[in-house]
Amino acid sequence: MPQPRGDETPVVDLVGVGFGPSNLALAIAVHERNAAGGQDPVSAVFLERQASFGWHRGMLIEDATMQVSFLKDLVTMRDPTSSFSFLSYLHERGRLIDFVNHKSLFPLRIEFHDYLEWAAARVADMVRYAAEVTTVRPVVVDGIVTAFDVESGGETFRARNVVLAGGLRPALPPGIVASRRVWHSRDLLTNVDSLNGTDPARFVVVGAGQSAAEVTAFLHERFPAAEVCGVLSRYGYSPADDSPFANRIFDPLAVDDYFGAPAQVKSMLLGYHANTNYSVVDTDLIESLYRRVYREKVLGTSRLRLLNVSRLTAAEETAGRVAVTVESMLTGARTVLPADVLVCATGYAPADPFPLLGVLADRCHRDERGLAVVERDYRIRTDAGVRAGIYLQGGTEHTHGLSSSLLSNTAVRSAEILESVCERRQEEAAADVAEPVEPAAEPALSGSGRAGTYA
Ligand code: FDA
């Protein structure tokens, strides 16, 4: 949709920034709502900076499985009859019965990626790939922000609402910079082929979570002559709590409980249940790693080494290698490990929405920690002069709880956002009828001579 600038600029109901699973689920919700007919269609455009759909491609390790039930796919928790379900995908791929015989709730990650790609292809008419959003600007009519201009690669998309779903940013330890020999786990499969034809002698993998354990196992298998040193501050890899009562923390209802809880109860819940998601590993993988360590002990060929209660203090690149300094937190002793590659499986931080929002950032309410104040419908609270909506998918752990950055609630959250967008549109339309002379209530699509100025 090429956009003429100025007052004739068409306005869509929403522009989604980022097209990972979160906004994909939203696109499907829009598609299904429009296809059902009988209501005013919702117009939407999704902008994704990758050239095609991709979900953590650098970590699509062949035998890695999902950490969430396939029933928490893009739609089922919202509408179990949707044709966009994982089961519909399996049926179309001719694997439904094989999957059932497998008796697992947890598909391969590679398979789930294929499911996401399959779903994304079915709503491709709403998506622009290779379209990085660089800024979001307010469109002001008579002092009221009635819409946003979303800028991407020289094009402008005007919308009554933006839904920011930029995902997570890789986090490296302080002082560590990614390079040819220092990788974040996100880039594992993208970078590993650069080692083809070389004969790596040692890898160091820092971290104690699922990604760290997966990377350690992967490198150990892929390079049978190399030593793999896992560096973790814990005493050992610890299991993810996926027991049924604890798992309720990811239920749609838990979002209501968490949202309404006092601040100290929120932080208590995050503390109690962090081990459902953070710095924890699937039990099967822990056992597989332990078996390898023990087997090598028996054989006297220990090449999978765990440096526990330890931390990375430096990584210096020398000719063809990286010197990794590891400090034992028990003794303070420092060991320098010359390695071919250091992989930091040190997690992610949610994307900060404010840099993208430019001058709009000052119109958003923040809490005492500087984080966005987000309403139950995932809309950032803004000052009264902003009528257009800024919604967050992700980055709301402080307000909506642990499922914020995960897939568990994607289907329901998307429906809630869409409902909010539609309800507000209806309220505004009603206000237009009630107060036709109110300038701020002028229909955004009118192309009147007053739209298009930036605050
Ligand atoms: P996601 O990060 O997937 O997508 C964001 C998209 O926005 C990206 O495609 C990015 O390119 C794009 N983007 C960012 N900025 C942009 C801009 N300015 N302009 C345009 N596009 C922009 N969770 C779970 O529940 N179960 C699981 O099994 C797993 N497994 C898992 C494995 C691995 C290796 C990781 C790293 C993470 C998980 N997760 C997970 C958690 C993960 O956050 C979750 O699966 C989803 O990726 C969240 O989807 P989003 O769409 O919110 O973000």
Domain CATH code at residue 31? 3.50.50.60
Q: What is the pLDDT of residue 453?
A: 32
Range of the domain at 414: 11-167+351-454
Helix (H, G, I), strand (E, B) or coil at 371: coil
Whether 272 and 386 share a structural domain: no
Whether 217 and 137 share a structural domain: no
Phi and psi at residue 227, to the nearest 5°: -85, 140
Whether 385 and 262 share a structural domain: no
What's the CA-to-centroid distance between 394 and ligand 1, angstroms?
Answer: 9
Helix axes 109-122, 21-36, angle to 10 degrees: 40
Q: What is the pLDDT of residue 432?
A: 76
Index of the ligand 1 atom closest to the CA of residue 65: 28
The finding on whether 164 has its CB within 6 A of some atom of ligand 1 is no
> Can you read off the two tokens belonging to residue 129?
């790939």
Index of the ligand 1 atom closest to the CA of residue 406: 25
Whether 140 and 289 share a structural domain: no
Is position 4 within any domain? no
Asked if residues 80 and 54 have their Cβ atoms less than 8 Å apart, the reply is: no
The finding on whether 156 has its CB within 6 A of some atom of ligand 1 is no
Whether 343 and 214 share a structural domain: yes
Q: What is the pLDDT of residue 412?
A: 98
> Can you read off the two tokens belonging to residue 351?
């994307």
Whether 94 and 210 share a structural domain: no
Positive or negative: CA dihedral 134, 184, 207, 212: positive
Is position 27 within any domain? yes
The finding on whether 200 has its CB within 6 A of some atom of ligand 1 is no
The H-assigned helical ranges of 143-282 are 188-192, 210-222, 244-247, 252-260, 263-273
CB atoms within 10 A of CB 170: 17
Q: What is the pLDDT of residue 419?
A: 98
Asked if residues 149 and 139 have their Cβ atoms less than 8 Å apart, the reply is: yes
The finding on whether 325 has its CB within 6 A of some atom of ligand 1 is no
The finding on whether 16 has its CB within 6 A of some atom of ligand 1 is no
The C-alpha angle 319, 320, 325, rounded to 5 degrees, equals 80
Is position 317 within any domain? yes
Q: What is the pLDDT of residue 429?
A: 85
Is position 3 within any domain? no
Positive or negative: CA dihedral 75, 79, 81, 83: negative
Q: What is the pLDDT of residue 7?
A: 61
> How many separate domains does the chain show?
3
Give residue for tokens 């035998």. 63
Segments of the chain with pLDDT less than 50: 1-5, 437-455
What radius of gyration do the chain's Cα atoms show?
A: 24
Helix (H, G, I), strand (E, B) or coil at 39: coil
Q: What is the pLDDT of residue 15?
A: 98
Q: What is the pLDDT of residue 428?
A: 86
Whether 308 and 446 share a structural domain: no
Q: How many whole angstroms from its chain centre is CA 434?
A: 41
In this structure, which residue's CA is closest to atom 38 in ligand 1? Answer: 406
Whether 38 and 101 share a structural domain: yes
Q: What is the pLDDT of residue 443?
A: 33
Say how far apart CA 119 and CA 114 lie, in whole Å. 9
The finding on whether 18 has its CB within 6 A of some atom of ligand 1 is yes
Whether 161 and 79 share a structural domain: yes
In this structure, which residue's CA is closest to atom 53 in ligand 1? Answer: 167
Whether 33 and 140 share a structural domain: yes
Pocket test for ligand 1, best of 47, 48, 129, 214 (most atoms within 8 A of CB): 48
Whether 160 and 208 share a structural domain: no
Q: What is the pLDDT of residue 435?
A: 60
The finding on whether 17 has its CB within 6 A of some atom of ligand 1 is yes
Whether 295 and 391 share a structural domain: no
Is position 5 within any domain? no
Pocket test for ligand 1, best of 405, 409, 414 (most atoms within 8 A of CB): 405
Distance from first CA to last CA of the chain, Å, rounded?
25
User: Which residues on neighbouring strands pair with residue 128, listed in sequence order?
Assistant: 47
Is position 231 within any domain? yes
Bridge-based pairing of strands 155-164 and 144-152 is antiparallel
Is position 312 within any domain? yes
Among 324, 348, 372, where does a domain finish? 348
